[in-house]
Each structure stands twice: as structure tokens, then as C-alpha cells.
Amino acid sequence: MTRPLGAVPDLEHELDELYALPLEEFTKARNDLVARLKQAHQQEAAAAIGALRKPSVVGWTVNRLARDEPAQVAALLAAGEALRETQQ
């Protein structure tokens, strides 16, 4: 869902939505957000968002996993911590 061009976005929410998109939609959505920020006279934010690179496939996949299966990711991190403690 695209918001009106001049809308001043909640950047935290906008970034969360941006990184939740399918990978192939990232660049267009990022550029649309930059355009909206410029329309809202938020030049610094527009420059910062415009500099964001499209995530790698691995980074995007890990992000999706963290969003879709947070309990599984938490269990994996806990197992890693337990293994680290055991090895010390």
C-alpha cells in the first residue's frame, strides 16, 4: 500500500516495512520512500534512506526467518550461547 506522496512517514515503521518486502520489491519501495521524504522536505532522511543497499539474499533470508519464526531464531541463538559457554 503506497501512502500519499507528501505524507511524512514514521521512519522506523517505514524501514520495518521496507525490509519485510520481497527482495525484488526493495529497490522500488526504497526509491518511493526517498521521493516521499523529499516531498516532505526531509532531505537528510531521504539521503540516508537512499544510501541503503538492497540486502543480500542471505541477509534477506535471515531477516525473513527472524520475522516469520522468532521462536526458532531465539532457540538457535540460545543454543549458540550455550555452546560458546561450554567451549570456554
Are 38 and 46 a contacting pair, CB within 8 Å?
yes
Q: How far apart are CA 67 and CA 73, in angstroms?
A: 9
Instruction: Give the distance, in angstroms, between the CA of residue 80 and the centroid of all CA atoms in the same chain.
Output: 24
Q: What is the pLDDT along the chain (88 residues), one digit of tens a residue?
A: 555 445 556 888 999 999 999 999 999 999 999 999 999 999 999 999 999 999 999 999 999 999 999 999 999 999 999 999 999 8
Global pTM reads: 0.74
Tell me: do 49 and 60 sit in the same domain.
Answer: no
The answer on 46 and 4 residing in a single domain is yes
Is the same domain home to 80 and 48?
Answer: no
Instruction: Name the residue among 65, 59, 36, 62 with its Cα closest to residue 49.
Output: 36
Query: What is the number of structural domains in the chain?
Result: 2
